Amino acid sequence: MGIFPETGQGIERVSLTDKNILLGVTGGIAAYKAAELARLLVKAGARVQVAMSEAATRFVGPLTFQALSGKPVLTGLWQGEGAGMDHIHASRGTDLVLVAPASADFLAKLAQGRADDLLSALCLARACPLAVAPAMNREMWAAAATQRNLVQLRADGVHVLGPAAGEQACGETGPGRMLEPAELMAALPGLLGAGLLAGARVVVTAGPTYEPVDPVRGLTNLSSGRMGYAVAQAAAEAGATVCLVSGPTCLATPPGVRRVDVRTAHQMHAAVLAELPCDVFIAVAAVADYRSDSAAPQKIKKDTGGLDLHLVPNPDILAEVAARPDAPFCVGFAAETERLAEYAEAKRLKKKLPLLVGNLAQDTLGQDSAELVLFDDNGAHPLPRAAKLAQARSLIAHLALLRT
Ligand code: C5P
């Protein structure tokens, strides 16, 4: 049973007991919050080894971390009892390296693979997952160089946790605040491979819908369903009980996922409502916006003249689910062909979604890989092109963090 405060959303957290966590602390005012993080980690039963950059020691004394972790703090390449090999030994047997706060300078070092101090060297020498919790002034966060480094780090498989937006130590307001220690704690089980969505009921829609015009013809779109199926798989991997409501596709059901097949938007609407209440609803389907208001009972015969079809709007499943009093955590998708950020953010606000995934349809449809941007209250988070399953796993990690 979990050691974390109850989220009220049915997630059962996996224990951190006996996990070996290397907590890296770099130079920034948020270093004082890392002391609380060390305390929470120890309280949760983790074995904590702290490593500090030289700049971090200017903000908080190593003795504070030594007292909290019960172990001498690693500070320099040339000190310690590791015969000059601390940078190699430190991450051996470690389950996770978490650098919090991670300064702009440290992110730049990581992105370049530099190893000129103990913390950067041990990050390079590690074989376990690495997570960073950036903390810096909003302009430093927004700087092209920092954003370039983040794209590189994500592509290298580094988990980027946050930052949050809000008041900053410098007096400015914007993105760049380190996530609170409790928020970081909530993200750790997932990074350690534990069930990020354990105990959660997740409903995913996928594929196109098909709206009949007559018994042999209909309106549909080019959605292959691959992204939705990948999302269902990633949610199941994360420990959720997953129902996949799927329009017509030729894909195999992911392992452990229950699939409900539908054809039309109306059927998808009914199937989704039948699955409520749930904890998370992820609407990936490319639902046809319109249907013919009077599908012909027999095949329409060809004539020399034109054919007028009267189309009526379909129910917006996602908007309806998100507006319910018992609304689950809702995630939308926006496939645009231009002005992605503008249209996607407008859609997120209109449908009142905490998270929306944007992509350029022409770059994604029918492909095995996708380039995505996640939009949430903290801004836009690009996910550089990767396999759809890898993107789906990143999406699940991100939404699990937002739900906490
Ligand atoms: O409004 P738009 O169709 O662009 O919004 C896309 C998002 O809304 C997707 O997440 C899609 O699955 C969902 N949607 C829906 N029902 C509709 C139309 C879209 O659930 N009728």
Residue 156 and residue 227 in one domain = no
Looking at ligand 1, which atom is closest to the CA of residue 332?
A: 10
Q: Which of 141, 159, 191 is the last residue of a domain?
A: 191
Ranking 91-95, 106-110, 321-325 by mean pLDDT, the lowest is 91-95
Segments of 320-368 assigned E as strands: 329-336, 355-360
The answer to whether residues 364 and 241 belong to one domain is: yes
Residue 53 tokens, joined = 């950059």
Mean pLDDT of the region 263-284? 98
**Structural domain contains residue 295:** yes
- The rounded Å distance from CA 351 to ligand 1 centre is 9
313 pLDDT exceeds 50?
yes
Q: Which alpha helices (DSSP H) does 60-180 contain, by range? A: 62-69, 86-89, 104-112, 118-124, 138-142, 144-155
pLDDT value of residue 187: 78
The β-bridge partners of 165 are 175
To test the pocket of ligand 1, the residue of 316, 321, 340 to mutate (highest count of ligand atoms within 8 Å of its CB) is: 316
Worst-scoring range by mean pLDDT, 96-105, 174-183, 200-209, 214-223?
A: 174-183
Point out the ligand 1 atom lying closest to the alpha carbon of residue 320.
Answer: 20
- Domain that residue 322 falls in: 201-403
Identify which of 272, 287, 337, 353 to mutate to test ligand 1's pocket (most ligand atoms within 8 A of the CB): 287
Residues 314 and 358 both lie in one domain: yes
3: in domain: no
Residue among 318, 338, 364, 375 whose CB has most ligand 1 atoms within 8 A, to mutate = 318
Distance 310 CA to ligand 1 centre (A): 21
Which of 367, 115, 343 is closest to 227 using CA atoms?
367
Q: What is the per-residue pLDDT for 1? A: 24
Q: How far apart are CA 395 and CA 237, in angstroms?
A: 13
Q: Do 214 and 97 belong together in one domain?
A: no
Residues 231 and 360 in one domain: yes
Residue nearest to atom 17 of ligand 1 (CA): 316
Strand bridging mode 369-376 / 355-360: antiparallel
Contact assessment for residue 28 and residue 103, using Cβ atoms and an 8 Å cutoff = yes
Residues with a catalytic annotation lie at 170
Q: How far is the CA of 286 from the centre of ligand 1 (A)?
A: 6
pLDDT at residue 385, rounded to an integer: 84
> Which residues fall within 8 angstroms of residue 29, CB to CB, at 6 or more apart?
59, 135, 169
Residue-level pLDDT at 350 = 95
Cα torsion 186, 108, 23, 60: sign:
negative
**CA 334 to centroid of ligand 1, rounded, Å:** 8
Q: Which atom of ligand 1 is nearest to the CA of 331?
A: 10
In this predicted structure, the answer to whether residue 137 has a pLDDT above a threshold of 70 is: yes
| Segment among 59-68, 95-104, 159-168 with least mean pLDDT | 159-168
277 prior amide bond cis, ω within 30:
yes
Percent of the chain scoring above 70 in pLDDT: 93
- Mean pLDDT value across residues 89-101: 87
Q: What is the pLDDT of residue 81?
A: 59
Lowest mean pLDDT among 168-182, 185-199, 250-264: 185-199
Q: Predicted confidence band at 168 (pLDDT cuts at 50, 70, 90)?
A: confident
Instruction: State whether 180 and 233 are in the same domain.
Output: no
* Helix, strand, coil share (%) of the chain residues, nearest 5: 35, 25, 40
Give the pocket of ligand 1 (CB within 6 Å). Answer: 205, 265, 283-285, 287, 314-318, 332-334, 347
- Band (pLDDT 50/70/90 cuts) for residue 9 is very low
Q: How far apart are CA 53 and CA 118, in angstroms?
A: 7
For residues 284 and 232, what is the distance between their CA atoms, to the nearest angstrom? 10
Q: What is the pLDDT of residue 11?
A: 28
Total domains present in the chain: 2
Question: Which atom in ligand 1 lies closest to the alpha carbon of residue 313?
Answer: 21
Residue 110 has pLDDT above 80, yes or no: yes
Closest ligand 1 atom to 288 CA: 21
Structure tokens at 154: 């994500």
Q: Is position 101 within any domain?
A: yes
Indicate whether 295 and 386 sit together in one domain.
Answer: yes
Say which CATH number the domain at 90 has.
3.40.50.1950
15 by DSSP, 3-state: which?
coil
Average of per-residue pLDDT values in the chain: 89
The mean per-residue pLDDT over the stretch 271-280 comes to: 97
- Kindly state whether residues 309 and 391 are assigned to the same domain: yes
Is residue 42 situated within a structural domain? Answer: yes
pLDDT band at 15 (very low <50, low <70, confident <90, very high): low
317 CA from centroid of ligand 1 (Å): 7
* CA distance linking residue 50 with residue 60, whole number of Å: 12
CA 288 – ligand 1 centroid, Å: 8
Strand partners, 245: 205, 260
**pLDDT of the residue at 84:** 63
The reply to whether omega before 101 is within 30° of 0 (cis) is yes
247-266 pLDDT tens trace = 999 999 987 889 999 999 99
End-of-domain residue from the set 131, 164, 191: 191
Q: End of a domain among 191, 209, 224?
A: 191
83 compared with 202, residue with greater pLDDT: 202
**Stronger pLDDT, 92 or 276, i.e. the higher one:** 276
Residues 230 and 124 in one domain: no
Residue 66 inside a domain? The answer is yes
If asked whether residues 303 and 326 sit together in one domain, one would say yes
- Distance from residue 192's CA to the centre of ligand 1 (Å): 33
| Whether 210 and 332 share a structural domain | yes
pLDDT of residue 319: 97
Residues 6+ apart with CB under 8 A from 182: 5, 40
pLDDT band with cut points at 50, 70 and 90 for residue 8: very low
Q: Whose CA is nearest to atom 21 of ligand 1?
A: 316
What are the Cα distances from residue 233, in Å, to 165, 229, 238, 355?
31, 6, 9, 19
Q: With contact defined as beta carbons under 8 Å apart, do 218 and 212 qualify?
A: yes
Is 6 part of a structural domain of the chain?
no
pLDDT of residue 390: 81
Query: What is the four-CA torsion angle of 300, 302, 307, 313, rounded to 10 degrees?
Result: 30
3-state DSSP assignment of residue 333: strand
Residue 285 confidence (pLDDT) above 60: yes
Q: Does any domain span residue 388? A: yes
Contacts of 390 (CB under 8 A, 6+ apart): none
Question: Do 90 and 211 have their domain in common?
Answer: no
Tell me, yes or no, if the pTM score tops 0.85. Answer: no
Is the pLDDT at 10 greater than 50, yes or no? no
Question: Is there a domain that residue 274 lies in?
Answer: yes
pLDDT tens digits, 317-375: 999 999 999 999 999 999 999 999 999 999 999 999 999 999 988 887 777 888 999 99
Contact 9, 200 (CB under 8 A): yes
Residue 289 belongs to domain with CATH number: 3.40.50.10300
* Residue 160 CB-density burial (10 A; 0-12 exposed, 13-18 middle, 19+ buried): middle
